[in-house]
Structure 1
Amino acid sequence: MNGAASQSAAELLVDCLAAQGCERIFTVPGESFLAVLDALHDRPAITAITCRQEGGAAFMACADGALTGRPGIAFVTRGPGATNASIGVHVAHQDSQPMILFVGDVARGMRDREGFQEVDFAAFFAPIAKWAARIDDPLRIPEYVARAYATAINGRPGPVVLALPEDMLCEAVPAQIAPRPMVTRPAQAPCPDAMQALFDLIADAASPIAIIGGAGWNAKARDHFMIFAERIGLPVATAFRRQDAISPDSLVYAGNLGYGPNPQLVTRVREADLVIAVGARLGEATTDGYAVPGPEHPGQILVHVHPDPEELGRVYRTDLAICAAMDEFAEAAALWEDARIIPFDAGAEAHRAWLAWNTPTPAANPPALDLAACVAHMRGALPADTIIANGAGNFAGWWHRYWRYAGYPSQLAPTCGAMGYGVPAAIAAALRLPDRTVVAVAGDGDFLMNGQELATAQQYGANLIVLVVDNSAYGTIRMHQEREFPGRVSATRLANPDFAAFARSFGAWSARAETTAQFFTALGQAKDQTGVRLIHMVIEVEQLAASGATVSGLRAKAAG
């Protein structure tokens, strides 16, 4: 297949990835795409990161896309491999992050016979991908790869899935077929008339608020939007798990929405007469179940700015819809002059309220290991631009409330609430940004869903700190259980291993902390190490949430 006049389809595919700037793929190898693995052997410019489970590989690709703004790339095999990887596709979809999943598939002659591990991937992934297709003609590989990149990054970013028939990858194609040039996101500036309408609304508003972060957000959008908001004193809230969308030092930052937000911020959103949503989809978590604001938002004017026209007006009645790239809109807003607007005092007021909410206050009877105090200590001990990666669980609430996401990007957290995301995402971050400090925060149930990827971190020399918060329970479900069926604990208890010993079995440094003081000591020791460092943080299940919810409190409330 390797002659002057021809190349294999797999070699063409790898060349097309290189032409799009791909430097790294995440994979669990499979026999269905052996030809791709062979092609990668001769192309050292693309590093293959071998993972231990396809869900971890897909999470790493999703996080890599979030960090770079270019699609993260994963390769998995058919059937079980693809279905394992589907969790990462779902995260990329709901997080609006660019990703491409390549799936090795049955040979074309085996199709529709329910061959070994056969799945109709276009149908399977269609509901959670921007585009799902199968490359049957190897001559069209450059077209499909370029389209995959364009689809993943344009409009609302998201995942693409391409199935690769095993026999197609081995087929010879002419050597002169060239990859298409790198696909870039087109500049999408806001309409000047729409911008004027926006500033007309701001000039007439008494209590406006912005909700930002989401599709297409980047460092330029962050910087320019902060200039715009600070100039007019506009309070700025971040959407669920988008807390790095603005600097926490901004004098108008009002805090984050989602689960367990500052009640004062929720009141501010509810009472606003003008809501400016920029990048945010206004999903269920951000809006407290589509309630604050509601889809019809009576008495409120909604301006929705989003890069995808199909998102505008899809769920929310929108008074002014602006379709634009986030950075282009933010720059236009920062440069727009309107002498009618007198700066609001609300931005500074909202920021002071957030600072009070973000600052832990000593409890009269603190728990042995006080998570609020631990996060506050981390703020002083670690660099301000530390990347925090977490999966799903109540444990994350302490970091959402008390950590300050000063760098960009610095928050990797799935908006769809997928468990097991934190460790793979932290590995992707540590490999992509080796000069940054990276911390994975995981609950005990959360960690064991992808804890095996510590082997991947060790194999590729990733430097990261892993915090495992162990309360021997599925804490979030236990909280709901105590609220709905108090005292009737069922299926939420966990019997856990010694996580510190588990980490040492991979060759990692580890420590166990059962008190706040022990955590302080362990973190100080971890800072002096390199490689993977894990701290097993043992807490009581009584501590259910950063908002103050406790088992006893929920039971007492139910009894009352």
Structure 2
Amino acid sequence: MPDSTRAPTRSAAALLVDCLAAEGCERIFTVPGESFLAVLDALPERPEIDVVTCRQEGGAAFMACADGSMTGRPGIAFVTRGPGATNASIGVHVAHQDSQAMILFVGDVARGAQGREGFQEIDFPAFFAPIAKWAARIDDPTRIPEYIARAYAVAISGRPGPVVLALPEDMLVEQVPASLAPRPASVRPAQAVCPDAMNALFDLIADAASPIAIIGGAGWNAKARQHFQGFAETIGLPVATAFRRQDAISPSSPVYAGNLGYGPNPKLVERVRGADLILAVGARLGEATTDGYTVPSLEHPGQTLVHVHPDPEELGRVYRTDLALCCSVDEFAECAMLWEDAGVIPFDAGAEAHAEWEEWATPKPSEARIDLAMCVAAMRETLPADTIVANGAGNFAGWWHRYWRYEAFPGQLAPTCGAMGYGVPAAIAAALRFPDRTVVAVAGDGDFLMNGQELATAAQAGASLIVVVVDNGAYGTIRMHQEREYPGRVSATVLANPDFAKLAEAYGAWAARVETTDEFVAALGEAKDRTGIRLIHALTDVENIAASGATISGLRARAKATV
């Protein structure tokens, strides 16, 4: 006979799912595994949480990372132990280097088997510690509310980043008191701006002759964009965006100076070199943004560096910093907007820098059969201004970074750590998050085949997106470096590719194979008027290797001339 006096219970997995719902989780990305079957069983009881079934854990983690970057809340992924977790580690690495909030849950071996190198066992706290803000294992099911609340708080506080929680499979099926409730939803703590530091900054700006701002990164959001753009326009301050942070300011702003990173406008690089005051807001000033820590240099003699960042550990960590402000970037931007000094004459440099960028970012026709610059121009004319563009890594992305105008926020999904295979999963996450907006994934041939299988995820989830595959039959970025260092000695960079249009059709997509600019424009027009998955397979010539105008023959000639 059942004991009617026993207090009601529920599974630890059900408690965990309730905690996620209490935190406002709307979607999880997963590749199912037997190590967290109890969670899968509990999820149908929470229909407000959309479950997106993915085809590889790396794709699931990329989707969670991208989702977190768009919402400012942690993107959520569930994977199984061992191979599942190691596959997903690429997404954790991207979230870490890109300062994006995400939480990865990993099904783990039972507690009684730990330490025996059981089936697919890994010490996950140790494995993920170097690339996560916090990595832990929940052994006591009654502490699930505590761990989930802490995970959210850690992921979004200071410099946002990834958290990894391992879930022993036997812990998930334990019964816990039904009265055990989720903790209150975490909120992102506001980090106040120091008034004295702001006054010191305003004095530096007033005394500057050639200042420039470098923005975008940790905690950047719509509020930061709006207020900082207004502040910069008021004083005529040139604003450059950090690597792959081009939606941090509207490109139509009269002070937008372009983007730093790989293949920047040489005039912008010289403007940073010649600046007497550099205001870095949100940006870590990482290797890509600063061209190997040279623009500006680490010691930047003759230049004053003001660094605004929400994480105290980033301030002074790499660069000598003259004035450091540890605060939320949106709070800083709002305070900057309040500055009133009638004695300050607006700088002319903002308009000058914007004109230089306009010239650099205006496509000019070439002799290439498929002119990618003109293809981007066609996209600008054909697609809505608030289109979200996602890409992975490769030279192909340079044409979009140079010529596309990331007018909306969020409008750019691109890994600052340079991970290949990011674009398609990120675009799927965007299509699900913003179903009323146009979403485009741009991928190279090598890049696409790293996670192209996630088109099956898009089809199953009913996502609508356009995919552009730029196929030059090579790992183009490596080929470019190869030609610089070992001209004419091609090794391991040639690719034999499938017909990507036919591959897309196998996923139920509409597809077109194009070999000229006119064919691309026509295909784009047809793709725009359709829904669902649409893929344009653009066959390009590897000779035209980069958006900077570099060619294979030119690289070889220059390399041989220096020998």
TM-score over 0.5 (shorter chain) = yes
SS at match of 1:194: helix
1:417 is matched with 418
Instruction: Please list, as runs of the form range in 1=range in 2, the aligned pairs for 1:225-240 lying within 5 A after superposition.
Output: 225-240=228-243
After the TM superposition, which segments of 4 or more aligned residues of structure 1 sit over 2 Å from their partners? none
SS at match of 1:383: coil
1:118 is matched with 121
Instruction: Please list, as runs of the form range in 1=range in 2, the aligned pairs for 1:131-210 lying within 5 A after superposition.
Output: 131-210=134-213
Contact between 1:482 and 1:551, CA under 8 Å: does it hold in 2? Answer: yes
Structure 1 residue 186: Cα displacement: 1.1
Contact between 2:66 and 2:75, CA under 8 Å: does it hold in 1? Answer: yes
Contact between 2:363 and 2:403, CA under 8 Å: does it hold in 1? Answer: yes
Q: Measure, in 1, the Cα distance between the counterparts of 2:352 and 2:368.
A: 32
Contact between 1:199 and 1:338, CA under 8 Å: does it hold in 2? Answer: no
Q: Measure, in 1, the Cα distance between the counterparts of 2:513 and 2:400.
A: 20
Q: Measure, in 1, the Cα distance between the counterparts of 2:340 and 2:170.
A: 60
- 1:21 equivalenced with 2:30 (yes/no): no
Contact between 2:365 and 2:371, CA under 8 Å: does it hold in 1? Answer: no
Instruction: Please list, as runs of the form range in 1=range in 2, the aligned pairs for 1:293-442 lying within 5 A after superposition.
Output: 293-363=296-366, 366-442=367-443
Structure 1 residue 314: Cα displacement: 0.4
Structure 1 residue 295: Cα displacement: 1.2
SS at match of 2:279: strand
Q: Measure, in 2, the Cα distance between the counterparts of 1:418 and 1:274.
A: 32
Q: Deviations over 1:248-297 (max 9, x none)?
A: 01000000000000000000000000000000000000000000001111
SS at match of 2:463: coil
2:266 is matched with 263
Structure 1 residue 337: Cα displacement: 1.2
Q: Measure, in 2, the Cα distance between the counterparts of 1:220 and 1:352.
A: 26
Contact between 1:465 and 1:526, CA under 8 Å: does it hold in 2? Answer: yes
Structure 1 residue 343: Cα displacement: 0.5
Q: Deviations over 1:300-322 (max 9, x none)?
A: 00000000011000001100000
- 1:278 equivalenced with 2:281 (yes/no): yes
Q: Measure, in 2, the Cα distance between the counterparts of 1:294 and 1:76.
A: 41
SS at match of 1:543: coil
1:542 is matched with 543
SS at match of 2:450: coil
1:510 is matched with 511
Structure 1 residue 362: Cα displacement: 2.3
SS at match of 1:449: helix
Among the aligned pairs, what percent are the same residue? 80
Q: Measure, in 2, the Cα distance between the counterparts of 1:409 and 1:529.
A: 23
Instruction: Please list, as runs of the form range in 1=range in 2, the aligned pairs for 1:30-45 lying within 5 A after superposition.
Output: 30-45=33-48
2:453 is matched with 452
Mark the runs of 5 or more structure 2 residues left unpaired by the alignment. none
Structure 1 residue 68: Cα displacement: 0.3
Q: Measure, in 2, the Cα distance between the counterparts of 1:319 and 1:10.
A: 50
Q: Deviations over 1:387-435 (max 9, x none)?
A: 0000000000000000000000000000000000000000000000101
Structure 1 residue 43: Cα displacement: 1.4
Structure 1 residue 187: Cα displacement: 1.3
Code of the aligned partner of 1:284: E
Code of the aligned partner of 1:358: A
Q: Measure, in 1, the Cα distance between the counterparts of 2:7 and 2:392.
A: 49
Contact between 2:239 and 2:350, CA under 8 Å: does it hold in 1? Answer: yes
Code of the aligned partner of 2:97: Q
Q: Measure, in 2, the Cα distance between the counterparts of 1:17 and 1:362.
A: 51
- 1:494 equivalenced with 2:495 (yes/no): yes
SS at match of 1:450: helix
Q: Measure, in 2, the Cα distance between the counterparts of 1:162 and 1:460.
A: 26
Structure 1 residue 548: Cα displacement: 0.7
Q: Measure, in 1, the Cα distance between the counterparts of 2:445 and 2:344.
A: 51
Q: Measure, in 2, the Cα distance between the counterparts of 1:43 and 1:283.
A: 41
Structure 1 residue 189: Cα displacement: 2.1
2:67 is matched with 64
Q: Measure, in 1, the Cα distance between the counterparts of 2:285 and 2:486.
A: 30
Code of the aligned partner of 1:239: A
2:485 is matched with 484
Structure 1 residue 50: Cα displacement: 0.3
Q: Measure, in 1, the Cα distance between the counterparts of 2:36 and 2:498.
A: 36
Structure 1 residue 4: Cα displacement: 6.4
Contact between 1:274 and 1:302, CA under 8 Å: does it hold in 2? Answer: yes
Contact between 1:211 and 1:238, CA under 8 Å: does it hold in 2? Answer: yes
Contact between 1:62 and 1:99, CA under 8 Å: does it hold in 2? Answer: yes
Structure 1 residue 42: Cα displacement: 1.6
Structure 1 residue 501: Cα displacement: 0.1
Code of the aligned partner of 1:159: P
Q: Measure, in 2, the Cα distance between the counterparts of 1:341 and 1:258.
A: 31
Contact between 2:480 and 2:545, CA under 8 Å: does it hold in 1? Answer: yes
Code of the aligned partner of 1:417: G
Q: Measure, in 2, the Cα distance between the counterparts of 1:403 and 1:180.
A: 44
Query: Aligned match of 2:244 in 235, 241, 247?
Result: 241
Contact between 1:5 and 1:175, CA under 8 Å: does it hold in 2? Answer: yes
SS at match of 2:536: strand
SS at match of 1:241: coil
Contact between 1:9 and 1:170, CA under 8 Å: does it hold in 2? Answer: yes
Q: Measure, in 2, the Cα distance between the counterparts of 1:139 and 1:162.
A: 15
SS at match of 2:135: strand
Change in Cα spacing, 1:368 to 1:113, as seen in structure 2 (3 Å) is same
Q: Deviations over 1:333-367 (max 9, x none)?
A: 0111123321100000000000000001223xx10
Mark the runs of 5 or more structure 1 residues left unpaired by the alignment. none
CA RMSD of aligned residues (A): 0.9
1:253 is matched with 256
Work out the number of aligned pairs and report it.
Answer: 557
Contact between 2:32 and 2:53, CA under 8 Å: does it hold in 1? Answer: yes
Q: Measure, in 2, the Cα distance between the counterparts of 1:336 and 1:206.
A: 19
Code of the aligned partner of 2:277: L
